[in-house]
């Protein structure tokens, strides 16, 4: 199998994993915000449910550690790609450029 196809397959899985970790971080952040809002809406003391908030914060810390690890994985895989001699382009969706489009807005 050609190196470029294997590299593309690994890159696709890497991007999906990075997106999943980022989504999990965002969800935990929203969970913490919801807990704080619920406590406020019910006029509860700041000490009420504090142990739950601590656990959510610990989960966030673990996810951020996972994200840091994935950033390191990305960097190491990029080095491996270079050693294998695989050339790549930037990720993302390529959109056709409209003729005459400059990306600038007319003000007036």
Dump the DSSP string for 76-104: HHHHHHHHHT------S---PPPTT--SP
Rounded to an integer, the average pLDDT of 6-33 is 96
Kindly report, residue by residue over 44-85, the tens digit of the pLDDT.
999 999 999 999 999 999 999 999 999 999 999 999 999 999
Work out the number of other CB atoms within 10 angstroms of the CB of residue 15. 13
Average pLDDT across the chain, whole number: 87
Nearest to 24 by CA among 73, 50, 61, 49: 61
| Residues 92, 53: Cα–Cα separation, whole Å | 36
pLDDT given at position 1: 75
Task: Reply yes or no on whether the pLDDT at 92 is more than 70.
Answer: no
- How confident is the model over 24-36, as a mean pLDDT? 97
Of 103, 91, 102, nearest to 18 by C-alpha is 91
Question: Model-level pTM greater than 0.85?
Answer: no
- Which pLDDT belongs to residue 87? 82
Cα distances (Å, whole numbers) of residue 63 to 15, 19, 26, 34: 16, 12, 10, 18
């Amino acid at each position: 199998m050609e190196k470029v196809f294997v590299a593309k397959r690994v890159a696709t899985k890497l991007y999906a994993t990075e997106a999943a970790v980022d989504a999990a971080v965002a969800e935990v952040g929203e969970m913490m915000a919801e807990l704080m809002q619920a406590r406020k809406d019910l006029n509860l003391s700041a000490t009420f449910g504090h142990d739950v908030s601590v656990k959510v914060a610990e989960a966030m810390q673990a996810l951020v550690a996972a994200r840091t690890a994935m950033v390191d994985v990305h960097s190491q895989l990029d080095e491996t790609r270079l050693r294998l001699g695989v050339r790549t382009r930037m990720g993302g969706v390529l959109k056709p450029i409209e003729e005459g489009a400059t990306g600038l807005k007319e003000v007036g």
